[in-house]
C-alpha cells in the first residue's frame, strides 16, 4: 500500500465526522438566529395579561358582581382585545408597582398613575386615558388654603413616592420653608381620613379620588388646585420592545375615540358630580344609627329576590331615609314607600312593618327586573328596573322607544335616561303610548340610589373605621 493510500485511509473516518459536526453548527446557527419573542408575543403565548395595580375606588375594587373599577374595566377590555385572560397582581405601594413592571413580574401597571411623573427611564408611559387635577384638601371650619404659601407652617400630607411629593419638592425651590410628610403606602382615602381626624392640616389628592370619596368625607373640601390636566396612564418596562406598548396605545386611543373612556367615566363618576353636603352628612349619620336596625331584613330579602342587600338598602334610604314610619303626602308608607295597590299585589298587611315592606319592595323590584328585556346587560338592566319602580314599566318603555327613534341605544341606561325628561314635554306627549310621566324625577331617583348604593359598597371596602387604618408615626 502506497503512502497516499494509507493517508486516504487515515482521513476517511475524519470525513465521516465532518457531516454531524456541520449539522450541529447549522442548528446552532439557526438557534442563534431565531428571533426572541416580543413582549406582545409572550403575553399571547402564555394566554394572560398580568397587570399590576393597587386596589382603590378609583382603580379596582369589588362589588357584588365581582371586580370592577375604571382601571379594571379598561385592563379587561385590553386583555379581551389581545385574546387573553386578565390576571391582576395586587400590590401595596407605588414603588411596588414600578418594581413589578421593571422586573417583569407584570406586563404593565394600571393604577391611576400620572403619566411620566417620576422621570424613571426604566418605565414607559402610555397615552393618558383620563385627565385629573391635583387638589389641596382641608377640613371645613379651618382656614382654607388658597395658594402654595398657605401650606407653609402647616402639616401637609402626601403619599410617599408620589407625583404629589415631587410637586412639593419642586415648590421648595421657591419656598424653602415649605415642609410636608410622606405617608408610606397611603391611599387617597387614608390621607383624607387623617385630615378629617386632625392628624394633618392638608392633603394632596387627585380630583377623581375626591369625586368618588367626597360623600364619605362631607366635612372636607378642596382649598385650591395645585396642578391641572395631568394625564393618568399605564406604565410599561422601558427596556422591553415596544410591541405590547404600541398595542396598548392603539387600544387606549380607540377607547377615547369611540367614547369608551367617557362611558366608563360616566359610569363611575357621572352620578356623583352633584353633591349635597348636608345630605351626605345625614346619610353617614343614618348609616351608623338607623341602618343596623334593618340590615338583617335587607340581607334576608336579598337572598329571596336575588339583589345585593345594599341596593335594597339604598332604595329604602331614597324612599324613606330608613324611617319605618315614614308617610308621604300622596299616601305611600313605610321603609320602601309602598302604595296601597302595590302592597295588596305583594300581600302586605302592614306597610309600616319593616320586614313586610322590605320583602315586598324587593320582590316587586324583581318582578320589574324580570320584565326588562333579557338582551339588556347589567348594570343597565337594574337601573332601568329602578326607573320602572319609580314611574312604571310602561313609561320606561316609552322612553326606550323615544331613545331608539332618536338614533341612540334603547338598551343603554346612559342613553335612555336623557329621554326621561321628554316624558312630560308637550312636544312629545302625543308620541307616548302610556301618556305623560314625571320622567325627570325617575332619572333623579335612580341617580340618588346609585350614589347611596356606591356609598354602602365603598363603606364596606373602606378602612376608615378599622384598627389597621394608617396612622402617622409619633
How far apart are the C-alpha atoms of 53 and 59, rounded to whole Å?
Answer: 7
How far apart are the C-alpha atoms of 435 and 440, rounded to whole Å?
Answer: 15
Residue entry with cell 404629589? 164
The answer to whether 137 and 202 have CB atoms below 8 angstroms apart is: yes
The answer to whether 71 and 234 have CB atoms below 8 angstroms apart is: no
Which residue in 89, 30, 80, 5 sits closest to 54, CA to CA? 89
DSSP 4-42: HHHHHHHHHHHHHHHHHHHHHHHHHHHHHHSPPPPHHHH
Phi and psi for 111 in degrees, rounded to 5?
-155, 50
Please enumerate in sequence order all residues whose Cβ is within 8 A of that of 446, keeping only pairs 6 or more positions apart, or say none: 383, 386, 387, 390, 413, 417
Cis check for the bond before 379: say yes or no (omega within 30 of 0).
Answer: yes
Phi and psi for 202 in degrees, rounded to 5?
-140, 160
Return the number of other C-beta atoms located less than 10 Å from residue 224's C-beta.
15
| Nine-digit cell string for 185 | 403606602
How far apart are the C-alpha atoms of 206 and 224, rounded to whole Å?
Answer: 12
How far apart are the C-alpha atoms of 325 and 294, rounded to whole Å?
Answer: 13
Annotated catalytic residue, options 73, 319, 333, 397: 319
- In the residue annotation, 71 being an active-site residue is answered as no
How far apart are the C-alpha atoms of 102 and 92, rounded to whole Å?
Answer: 16
Residues serving a catalytic function are: 319
Amino acid at each position: 500500500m502506497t503512502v497516499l493510500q494509507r493517508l486516504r485511509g487515515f482521513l476517511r473516518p475524519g470525513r465521516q465526522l465532518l457531516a454531524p459536526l456541520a449539522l450541529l453548527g447549522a442548528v446552532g446557527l439557526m438557534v442563534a438566529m431565531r428571533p426572541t419573542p416580543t413582549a406582545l408575543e409572550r403575553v399571547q403565548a402564555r394566554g394572560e395579561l398580568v397587570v399590576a395595580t393597587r386596589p382603590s375606588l378609583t382603580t379596582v375594587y369589588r362589588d357584588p358582581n365581582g371586580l370592577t373599577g375604571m382601571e379594571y374595566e379598561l385592563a379587561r377590555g385590553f386583555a379581551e382585545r389581545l385574546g387573553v385572560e386578565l390576571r391582576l397582581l395586587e400590590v401595596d405601594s407605588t414603588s411596588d408597582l414600578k418594581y413589578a413592571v421593571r422586573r417583569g413580574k407584570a406586563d404593565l401597571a394600571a393604577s391611576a398613575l400620572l403619566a411620566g411623573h417620576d422621570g424613571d427611564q426604566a418605565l414607559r408611559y402610555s397615552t393618558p386615558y383620563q385627565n385629573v387635577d391635583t387638589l389641596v384638601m382641608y377640613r371645613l371650619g379651618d382656614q382654607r388654603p388658597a395658594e402654595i404659601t398657605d401650606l407653609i407652617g402647616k402639616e401637609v400630607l402626601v403619599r410617599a413616592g408620589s407625583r404629589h411629593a415631587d410637586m412639593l419638592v419642586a415648590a421648595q425651590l421657591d419656598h424653602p420653608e415649605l415642609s410636608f410628610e410622606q405617608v408610606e403606602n397611603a391611599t387617597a382615602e387614608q390621607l383624607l381620613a387623617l385630615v378629617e381626624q386632625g392628624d394633618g392640616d392638608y392633603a394632596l389628592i387627585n380630583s377623581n379620588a375626591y369625586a368618588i370619596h367626597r360623600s364619605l368625607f362631607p366635612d372636607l373640601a378642596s382649598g385650591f388646585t395645585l396642578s391641572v390636566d395631568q394625564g393618568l396612564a399605564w406604565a410599561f418596562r422601558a427596556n422591553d420592545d415596544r410591541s405590547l406598548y404600541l398595542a396598548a396605545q392603539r387600544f387606549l386611543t380607540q377607547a377615547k375615540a369611540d367614547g369608551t373612556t367617557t362611558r366608563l367615566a360616566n359610569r363611575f363618576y357621572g352620578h356623583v358630580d352633584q353633591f349635597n353636603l348636608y345630605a351626605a352628612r345625614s346619610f353617614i349619620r343614618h348609616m351608623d344609627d338607623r341602618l343596623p336596625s334593618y340590615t338583617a331584613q335587607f340581607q334576608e330579602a336579598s337572598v329571596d329576590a336575588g339583589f345585593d342587600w345594599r341596593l335594597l338598602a339604598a332604595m329604602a334610604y331614597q324612599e324613606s331615609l330608613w324611617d319605618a314610619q315614614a308617610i308621604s303626602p300622596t299616601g305611600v308608607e313605610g321603609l320602601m314607600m309602598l302604595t296601597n295597590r302595590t302592597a295588596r299585589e305583594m300581600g302586605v298587611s302592614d306597610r309600616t312593618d319593616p320586614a313586610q315592606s322590605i320583602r315586598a319592595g324587593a320582590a316587586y323590584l324583581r318582578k320589574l327586573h324580570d320584565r326588562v328585556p333579557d338582551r339588556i346587560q347589567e348594570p343597565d338592566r337594574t337601573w332601568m328596573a329602578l326607573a320602572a319602580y319609580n314611574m312604571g314599566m310602561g313609561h320606561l318603555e316609552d322612553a326606550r322607544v323615544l331613545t331608539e327613534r332618536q338614533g341612540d341605544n334603547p338598551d343603554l341606561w346612559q342613553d335612555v335616561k336623557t329621554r326621561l325628561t321628554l316624558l312630560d314635554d308637550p312636544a312629545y306627549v302625543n308620541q307616548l303610548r302610556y301618556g305623560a310621566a314625571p320622567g325627570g324625577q325617575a332619572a333623579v331617583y335612580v341617580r340618588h340610589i346609585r350614589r347611596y348604593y356606591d356609598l354602602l359598597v365603598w363603606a364596606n371596602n373602606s378602612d376608615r373605621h378599622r384598627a389597621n387604618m394608617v396612622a402617622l408615626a409619633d
